Structure 1
Amino acid sequence: MRHRTSLVFVLLSAVWGTAFVATEVGLDSLPPALFAAVRFDVAALLLFCLARVRGDRLLPASRAEWLPVLAGGALTIGVHHAFLFSGQVYVDGAVAAVLLGLIPVITPALTRLTAAAERLSPVGAAGVLLGFVGVVVIADPDPGNLGASDLLGVVLVLASAVAFALGAVLTHDSRSDLPFVATQAWMMLVGALLLHATSAALPWESFAAAEWTPEAVAALLYLAVVAGAGGFVMYFWLLDRVGPVEVSLLEYVIPVFAAVSGWGLRGTALDATTVAGFAVIFVGFLLVKREDVRRALGRGRGGRRERECDGDARMPRDAD
């Protein structure tokens, strides 16, 4: 099970990291909030169809089943993306990436508000902060690009980080009997409705401004099917198994895949500073996950010792 969790963690980081490239392609032709809203429209429809084919119960039947739908859909999907896209009108992607890198820092504080609080040791907390430093190194934001008028953008993106972390905490602490796929479908629908409302409220957004080019449609389908439906199913699966603090560490691995995919697909420079940021994040991860690494190395050494003992036992003995 632990290996499966690690595999899903890396796969989701890769999917959401490469989604940045698809987002850049889509934003060349589509208004941001409308783009996100239609993305989750498609993702919700896909998951509702999947739930129906599986024969799952589709409707939440109690308050306990509505709680994760509303918390995850409203905060993790709707409010998060609404604040994020609104904030990125005022600040560039590098600043946004650094602010989103605060999610693993914010999440442990929010978990203390719940009964099922997770705790980070001092060494683990140092690893989280070191990972944030790595994100800053990779993003390399230019403070000179931040003027007084950009303060609103910083506040909005920071609010999106808080909404994402709070949604994770509230969703993890809820207990629901609604089938998993149906729960995700409702979350996508709630998030899409909030994003449509945001798009309608933003003066610079309109359907008339959207250009549905083949590239934009391809980017939308990738974000809806792979990063949306598939990505958030993996995210909430991980959240249920490892908790909000550990799953928040995705925000430190996603920039690595975003930088590599941008270099491979769009020719974005991958310089020594970016590689140094990768190394800092890796060291931070080792500090946070040191117990898992120690156990894995212990199992590896134990397995080698057992094989050596078995080999000695099978070695033919010379007659005396």
Structure 2
Amino acid sequence: MRREELILVGITAIWGSTFAVMKVGLESLPPFLFLAYRFGLASILMFAIFRGRLVKRESLKPGLILGITLFFGHGFQIVGLEYTSPSNSAFITSLYVVFTPFVAYFLLHERVRARDTLSLGIALTGLYLISGATIHLNHGDALTVVSALSFAFQIVLVESFRGHDYLSLTFWQIFWNFVLSTAVSVLMEKPVIPTAPAAWGGIIYLVVFATALTFTLQLRYQRFVPAYRAALIYSSEPIFASVVSLIALREVLSLKGYIGAALIMAGIWNEIRKGSPAAEPAKPL
């Protein structure tokens, strides 16, 4: 494996670890305030690093549209994480890969292939098993499915805004996510300044490593990796999440859960295998 690919593996491992970090952080902070801290500080840090390259007026409106979908994705995900495990959250969130072709059909009228339908069927079977082999999803898993659908909309919309500066677009997404998270937190949650070291440690880790560092490295090195290989590397995120949750939180899935997780991964890998148009790497922020 080449150096650039190893860096993408490291990025993916960091992203995978964020599910356990957020789960611990929710013990000290309400969910939307947690997001407000994360994306507010990330906005400040990105502006400090990239400065004038970020604030481009032509990216403001597209950034708002993308920021709304990103807000729904992260909002449903973190609220769902209060009621489900980090591993379940990670594997179910990754369903955005198999949802994306159908969202692209709905928004852009792109053709849905037989492979897309097969991948979706395999992954939904996995969802059924990882959620306890019942058609009645628990509250957390159901919210996370909506999160995955929101991320799929975000990815398709990013494609439609391809002509805009990617760096500026990313900044505005993060900024508007901060604004919307703050607004919901002010309306629905009690203001809290975290005092627990674990809470601040989690926020700083998410801001510095899971946002600023990973984004910068991704921007620099992903262009040297074939699209299908990058997509394959990124698809391992829920596996890293499960390993970190096992080590840090002693979280173990049931046998049905592991079979379900394997089926979700099978559906994703079928969707992004070499030669597939879906192999273009797409990872929600």
Which one of the candidate residues 53, 58, 80 is aligned to 1:57? 53
Which one of the candidate residues 82, 101, 116 is aligned to 2:75? 82
Which residue does 1:224 correspond to in 2? 207
- In structure 2, stretches of 5+ residues that fail to align are 277-285
* Distance verdict in 2 for CA 1:234–1:285, change over 3 Å: farther
- In structure 1, stretches of 5+ residues that fail to align are 294-320
Which residue does 1:104 correspond to in 2? 97
Amino acid across the alignment from 1:267: R
Deviation at 1:131, TM superposition (A): 3.8
The residue matched to 1:113 in structure 2 has which SS?
Answer: helix
The answer (yes or no) to whether the contact 2:38–2:206 under 8 Å persists in 1 is yes
Matches within 5 A, 1:37-76: 37-52=36-51, 56-62=52-58, 65-76=59-70
Which one of the candidate residues 92, 111, 114 is aligned to 1:122? 114
* Distance verdict in 2 for CA 1:160–1:232, change over 3 Å: farther
Amino acid across the alignment from 1:185: F
Q: What is the distance in 2 between the residues matched to 1:58 and 1:140?
A: 41
The residue matched to 2:53 in structure 1 has which SS?
Answer: coil
Deviation at 1:192, TM superposition (A): 0.4
Deviation at 1:48, TM superposition (A): 0.6
* Distance verdict in 2 for CA 1:16–1:79, change over 3 Å: same
Percent of aligned pairs with the same residue?
Answer: 26
Q: What is the distance in 2 between the residues matched to 1:66 and 1:129?
A: 37
Deviation at 1:106, TM superposition (A): 2.5
Q: What is the distance in 1 between the residues matched to 2:101 and 2:263?
A: 21
Please give the TM-score of this superposition, normalised by the length of structure 1: 0.67
Higher mean alpha-carbon deviation, 193-202 vs 181-190, is at 181-190
The answer as to 2:173 corresponding to 1:187 is yes
* Distance verdict in 2 for CA 1:158–1:266, change over 3 Å: closer
Q: What is the distance in 2 between the residues matched to 1:266 and 1:99?
A: 19
Please give the TM-score of this superposition, normalised by the length of structure 2: 0.74
Q: What is the distance in 2 between the residues matched to 1:291 and 1:164?
A: 23
* Distance verdict in 2 for CA 1:162–1:236, change over 3 Å: farther
Deviation at 1:22, TM superposition (A): 0.9
Q: What is the distance in 2 between the residues matched to 1:201 and 1:248?
A: 40
Q: What is the distance in 2 between the residues matched to 1:282 and 1:264?
A: 21
Deviation at 1:112, TM superposition (A): 1.4
Deviation at 1:215, TM superposition (A): 1.3
* Distance verdict in 2 for CA 1:264–1:232, change over 3 Å: same
Which residue does 1:201 correspond to in 2? 187
Amino acid across the alignment from 1:160: S
Which residue does 1:92 correspond to in 2? 84
Q: What is the distance in 2 between the residues matched to 1:134 and 1:5?
A: 32
Which residue does 2:270 correspond to in 1? 287
Which residue does 2:281 correspond to in 1? none
The residue matched to 1:112 in structure 2 has which SS?
Answer: helix
Question: Which protein has the larger Cα radius of gyration, Structure 1 or Structure 2?
Answer: 1
Aligned residue pairs total 271
CA RMSD of aligned residues (A): 4.0
The answer (yes or no) to whether the contact 1:99–1:158 under 8 Å persists in 2 is yes
Q: What is the distance in 1 between the residues matched to 2:257 and 2:79?
A: 27
